[in-house]
Structure 1
Amino acid sequence: MKVQYDIQFQPELTQNAWQQLKQFTDARIALGRVGGSQPTKPSLEFQLAHAQAKDAVLKVLDVQALVEQLAKLNSDILQISSCAEDKDLYLKRPDLGRELSEASRQLLKQYQQQHQAEYDVLIVAGDGLSARAIEDNAAHFIAELQHSCVNEGWSVAPLVIATGSRVALGDEVAQILNAKMLVMLIGERPGLSSPDSMGIHYTWNAYKGCHDAMRNCISNVRAAGLSEPVAIQRLMALMRKSRQLQLSGVKLKDEHEVIVEPFAQATAKRIF
């Protein structure tokens, strides 16, 4: 029998030729190798990212902390929930996350009966698949968005915080509160480098049973993704055009232009 010798790899860390490209992305590229294996550091970083993504999905939204942050806006705050009573049910039954609980429905109807108002804009913050995204991004974003809406002369409905929420949960809320423009902020499904990503879903004249083609989406709003100022600029541009055309969704195009900084400046201060 002929003996076959094992291939002998060098024990030193071998850098990948793409190493310099890592400064432009959070994607797992140019990890290098030690012998025939992945280096220990990126292996541990992967496990950490996986744990952070899992925690983001399973974390329960700290509603009280969010209420305290939003209290300075001097706006009424309504707390609602879906029919998905806990995280386990929420993950197994997406349909329940789109349906208001009966108690929440009655709360909204009672508020509307007491105030008998119509609103231009309704802002709903829902935990979705990442409560962390809402906790990290929503409060300051809502403050800036509310300020922009007031400057446009638009009336803003009471702020709504939703738990166990899917995107469509906001539709019936807008219908009950008679709001023309629905801005649904929701925690997006976390990737292995983005456990804190917040999505914005905009709908004109939302009602229970709206389909996704009636919405516009702005995604990846977070410190390492789409910056808050750019996200608000894009959203406000969509909302102005939506009021003009009286629609949203696939027929409403995002024509907002972002000025791209020169390469040298962009590496120091990235706007995307």
Structure 2
Amino acid sequence: MCWPVCATYGRAQNRQEYLQRPDWGRQLDEASRAHLANQVWTACDIVIILADGLSATAINEHALPLLRLLLPQLQEAGFRLGPIVLAEQARVALGDAIGQLLQARLTLVLIGERPGLSAPNSLGAYFTYGPLPGLTDEARNCVSNIRPEGLAYSAAATKLFFLLREALRRQLSGVKLKDDSDLLTG
């Protein structure tokens, strides 16, 4: 598994700003914006973003095992994959700016969910068709609680593959895209 990787940062300069100014976690800092805008990327169907969110532990523990299962499925289905983007001081909506700059049809943001609830290391996967800054949560789908004690990696990869394929086929995401994958197996 070998993909180009690039690093980006939200506007917050530190964790205190990140927590006090959630809007800054949804915006790229100027250096990241310029870097992405000045790169020559091939048109892609999907850009995968690994975001620290509220629990970098979740990314460190669960992103690679999930990607080891999901990426081969995407490749075999003919998805054109963009770079993997590492995003620090990031919130979910940061993926919209990244996706727009990289001209991706879809973004998949893997992000650490809220620590201190039932699990401090829970991974969330949010995807958006037609990413643009300013979209709200009804434009996204979420598969959450990805971890061995929650939604297993294999189940998460299967569910995400189904939903991502449907999002591309139907050219939509969010409240308009329902997960009826369980109906197909029963």
What is the TM-score of this pair, normalised by structure 1? 0.66
Determine the C-alpha separation between the residues in 2 that align with 1:105 and 1:192. Answer: 33
Contact 2:70 2:158 in 1 (8 A): no
Q: Report matched runs for 1:128-147 at 5 Å.
A: 128-147=53-72
What amino acid sits opposite 1:248 in the alignment?
A: S
Determine the C-alpha separation between the residues in 2 that align with 1:172 and 1:246. Answer: 19
What amino acid sits opposite 2:35 in the alignment?
A: L
What amino acid sits opposite 1:148 in the alignment?
A: Q
Query: What residue in structure 2 maps to residue 105 of structure 1?
Result: 33
- Counterpart among 244, 249, 254 of residue 169 in structure 2: 244
Deviation at 1:142, TM superposition (A): 2.0
Determine the C-alpha separation between the residues in 1 that align with 2:182 and 2:46. Answer: 23
Ranges in structure 2 where 5+ consecutive residues have no aligned partner:
none
Matched, 1:93 2:21: yes
What amino acid sits opposite 1:182 in the alignment?
A: T
Determine the C-alpha separation between the residues in 2 that align with 1:175 and 1:152. Answer: 23
Deviation at 1:146, TM superposition (A): 1.5
What is the TM-score of this pair, normalised by structure 2? 0.95
Q: CA RMSD in A?
A: 1.5
> Identity of counterpart residues, as a percentage?
40
- Counterpart among 53, 69, 81 of residue 9 in structure 2: 81
Greater relative CO (CA pairs within 8 A, separation 6+): 2
Deviation at 1:245, TM superposition (A): 1.5
SS in structure 1 of the partner of residue 18 of structure 2: helix
Deviation at 1:202, TM superposition (A): 0.9
Determine the C-alpha separation between the residues in 2 that align with 1:191 and 1:233. Answer: 27
Contact 2:55 2:112 in 1 (8 A): yes
| Count of residue correspondences | 185
Deviation at 1:192, TM superposition (A): 4.0
Deviation at 1:193, TM superposition (A): 3.3
Matched, 1:156 2:81: yes
Determine the C-alpha separation between the residues in 1 that align with 2:2 and 2:125. Answer: 23
Structure with higher Rg: it is 1
SS in structure 2 of the partner of residue 141 of structure 1: helix
SS in structure 1 of the partner of residue 82 of structure 2: coil
- Counterpart among 205, 211, 217 of residue 142 in structure 2: 217
Determine the C-alpha separation between the residues in 1 that align with 2:50 and 2:152. Answer: 18
Q: Deviations over 1:81-115 (max 9, x none)?
A: 0001111110111000001000000111111xx34
What amino acid sits opposite 2:142 in the alignment?
A: C
SS in structure 2 of the partner of residue 122 of structure 1: strand
Determine the C-alpha separation between the residues in 2 that align with 1:177 and 1:144. Answer: 24
Ranges in structure 1 where 5+ consecutive residues have no aligned partner:
1-72, 261-272
Deviation at 1:211, TM superposition (A): 1.1
Determine the C-alpha separation between the residues in 1 that align with 2:5 and 2:83. Answer: 6
* Superposition misfits of 4+ residues, deviation over 6 angstroms: none
Deviation at 1:143, TM superposition (A): 2.7
**Cα gap change, 1:191 to 1:102, in 2 (>3 Å):** same
Q: Which has the higher strand share?
A: 2
SS in structure 1 of the partner of residue 50 of structure 2: strand
